Amino acid sequence: MQRLMKGESYFLVIVQVVTFVAVLVTGSPVAGNRFLFSIQIAGIVLGLWATVAMGSRNLNIMPMARRGSRLVTKGPYAVIRHPMYLAVLLVVWPVIIDTYTHFRLLVGILLSGDLVIKMFYEESILKRHFSGYEDYVGKTKRLIPYVF
């Protein structure tokens, strides 16, 4: 079972990394439009804030709970459960919109779908790992504050 979970986790991470890089290398990685660029900056700031709040001991790109990790509910995690996933989306979607191609759109949809699957998969693991996770779920949204 643990071996299967690792395989699924690796697959989800590989899809995430490949699609993220594909968006950034198939056109400008920085939005030229000021509004879209400000959304990208917000994504970078959110990602950094989430990383600091998570702490190096808990930081893990894999959708698995590390041994000895703790449930983080401070910083952006006080409002949403997956701020790093939101940060990725805030970085890539502005450049997809700014320098649109059908390929970039397809890759963006694939990346977004992968992150949604990864969110649900990760939450199923975290529910088993942390006794207080169900309470945390009741107080936060997955990705968009106060919405989803």
Q: Does 5 fall in a domain?
A: no
Residue 48 in any domain: the answer is yes
Half-sphere exposure of 19 (CA within 13 A, CB side): 25
Who's near 137: CB < 8 A, 6+ residues apart? 81, 123, 127
Domain count for the chain, please give it.
Answer: 1
Residue 89 lies in a domain: yes
Output the pLDDT for position 41: 98
Averaged pLDDT for residues 79-96: 97
- Residue 24 CB: number of other CB atoms within 10 A? 16
Specify if 49 maps to a domain.
Answer: yes
Residue 58: what are its φ and ψ, rounded to 5°?
-95, -15
Contact 66, 39 (CB under 8 A): no
Supply the pLDDT for residue 5. 67
Q: Amino acid identity of 24?
A: L
User: Is 63 contained in some domain?
Assistant: no
Give the CA angle between residues 72, 146, 23 to the nearest 5°.
75
**Those residues with Cβ within 8 angstroms of residue 18's Cβ, 6 or more apart along the chain or in another chain:** none
Structural domain boundaries, residue 106 = 32-57+71-143
Residue 20 domain flag: no
What amino acid occupies position 79? V
Compute the distance between CA of residue 116 and CA of residue 98 in angstroms, rounded to an integer: 23
Whether residue 13 has pLDDT greater than 80? yes
Examine residue 65 and state whether it is found in any structural domain, yes or no: no
Which tens digits make up the pLDDT trace of 31-82? 999 999 999 999 999 999 999 999 877 788 888 777 778 899 999 999 999 9
Residue 110, pLDDT above cutoff 70: yes
Residue 12 belongs to some domain of the structure: no
